[in-house]
Structure 1
Amino acid sequence: MYKNIKVIAFDADDTLWVNETYFREAEHQFAKLLAKYETENKIDQELFRKEIENLAYYGYGVKGFILSMIECALELSNYKINPKTIEAILNIGKKMLNEPIELLDGIEEVLSSLQDRFKLIVATKGDLLDQERKLEKSNLLNYFHHIEVMSDKKEKDYKKLIKHLDIHPSEFLMIGNSLKSDVLPLIEIGASAIHIPFHTTWAHEEISEEASNNFKYHTVANIKDVLRLF
């Protein structure tokens, strides 16, 4: 399947390093702060609704998440939230932005093996400053020829990236943990993709099994399994 590949793109969050785990922890802390107003399940639902509503304004990433938490707290408290609670929410966000980078098992081994045979790039979405910070702290920058922080990961976004790389879609392979963002859009435009599931996925990135049944791609349990496919 991959004999024509020239460029391999890696998603960043939950493909190169741990990320979504910190969001789950933050959601739990947020629910504890608002426990006197609603149940944790209801708070989770309302926060998710607010995040999706705000994507068009703030995009993806921790900063948009923080703003959504503050808005959600204001609404759930009927605008009676204590300023100290707002401060605590901001501190949750700052802690997320300062979490250590925990590389997933096998990442450096795979990048080291592939870097002499392919052009390796990062294709991720999120806040530019935050993603640049994480890449710097990861000590992985030397493996990559190009870093692309995308506002979204839809077919048109990948087409734009592939045009910028001056290659044909059949020469492009994406590796990531999200079927919705890292796999299916690539298959739709004639590129290739490898899915590496992470143990927790943001609800916005989840798709039904039926939705992916008609697409041809590999799923591997661990990033090191990618090497066997080449």
Structure 2
Amino acid sequence: MPSSSLSLTTIGFDADDTLWQNEQFFRQTEKQFIALLAEHADGTDIEARLLEAEKRNLALYGFGIKGFTLSMIETALEIGGGRVPSAVIGEILAAGRDMLSHPIEILPQVRETLEQLAGAYRLVLITKGDLFDQERKLAQSGLADLFEAVEIVSDKNAATYARIFARHGEGPERSMMVGNSLKSDIVPAIEAGSWGVYVPHDLTWVLEHVEEPTQAPRFRRLERLGQLTDLIERL
């Protein structure tokens, strides 16, 4: 690596939709949910009311499949007005269980990129969501040995990154966060003082959408993760 890159010591990676597929399974389950309630409301209304339930419940249930499943049940009861059969609730629960056991699908160029960087930098997995589910996905991914540390947090903000990069590196100024969510991965990491490298995914949850911080000196955007090594060498 060129001497200009030597100040970077720690690289954090998001997990869902950065290292492996995630959002597509939520979208598929949401379509099933809408079909289950088709006789009670139209699809647009169901989708909107489910999103409102998810917003309300984030503070209670946090991020992840279990909270999503509870929000679907709540929405079904609201829309059905008590007329939703117990069998429908059972199908919603089954859909949630299916999501929790779905095989991991690693995204392209992920393993190769991590293997290139491991050893030269401290790699830290920084993900939010349900503890058991995130641990399951990491174990099944076969990528765990490439990370020196794993942080599963309830939310991601500037204080989160400042704390993690101080614990596992020399602080945010010598660290980088890589992820697909501008709201969770990039903007707060830059606010903490680190580099933020945005790698868009075709599907990103609407609640994770914010404007790209294009004027921030430490913001970078890549079209694919495989470009990360070259980017670091140019810093």
Q: Give the TM-score, by structure 1 length.
A: 0.96
- What letter is aligned with 1:225? Q
Q: Distance in 2 between matches of 1:126 and 1:108?
A: 22
- What letter is aligned with 1:224? G
- What letter is aligned with 2:216? F
Specify the alignment match of 1:58 in structure 2. Answer: 61
Q: Distance in 2 between matches of 1:111 and 1:195?
A: 16
- Quick check: 1:97 aligned with 2:106? no
Q: Determine helix, strand or coil for the equivalent of 2:170.
A: coil
- The ranges of structure 1 where at least 4 consecutive aligned residues each deviate by more than 3 angstroms after the TM superposition are none
Cα offset for 1:95?
0.9
- Quick check: 1:42 aligned with 2:45? yes
Cα offset for 1:166?
5.1
Specify the alignment match of 1:214 in structure 2. Answer: 215
Q: Distance in 2 between matches of 1:16 and 1:44?
A: 27
Return 5+ residue gaps in structure 2 as ranges: none
- Quick check: 1:132 aligned with 2:135? yes
- What letter is aligned with 1:37? H
Q: Distance in 2 between matches of 1:147 and 1:166?
A: 13
Specify the alignment match of 2:162 in structure 1. Answer: 159
Deviations 1:56-84 (CA, angstroms, capped at 9, x unpaired): 10000000000000001000111221100
Q: Determine helix, strand or coil for the equivalent of 1:80.
A: coil
Cα offset for 1:213?
3.5
Specify the alignment match of 2:11 in structure 1. Answer: 8
Specify the alignment match of 2:78 in structure 1. Answer: 75
Contact 2:165 2:175 in 1 (8 A): yes
Q: Distance in 2 between matches of 1:99 and 1:79?
A: 31
Deviations 1:17-49 (CA, angstroms, capped at 9, x unpaired): 000000110110000000011111111110011
The percentage of counterpart residues that share the same residue type is: 40
How many residues align? The count is 228
Q: Give the TM-score, by structure 2 length.
A: 0.94
Q: Determine helix, strand or coil for the equivalent of 2:184.
A: helix
Q: Distance in 1 between matches of 2:17 and 2:78?
A: 31
Contact 2:40 2:79 in 1 (8 A): yes
Cα offset for 1:2?
4.4
Q: Determine helix, strand or coil for the equivalent of 2:215.
A: coil
Contact 1:184 1:215 in 2 (8 A): no
- Map 1:108-187 → 2, pairs under 5 A: 108-165=111-168, 167-187=170-190
Q: Determine helix, strand or coil for the equivalent of 2:189.
A: helix
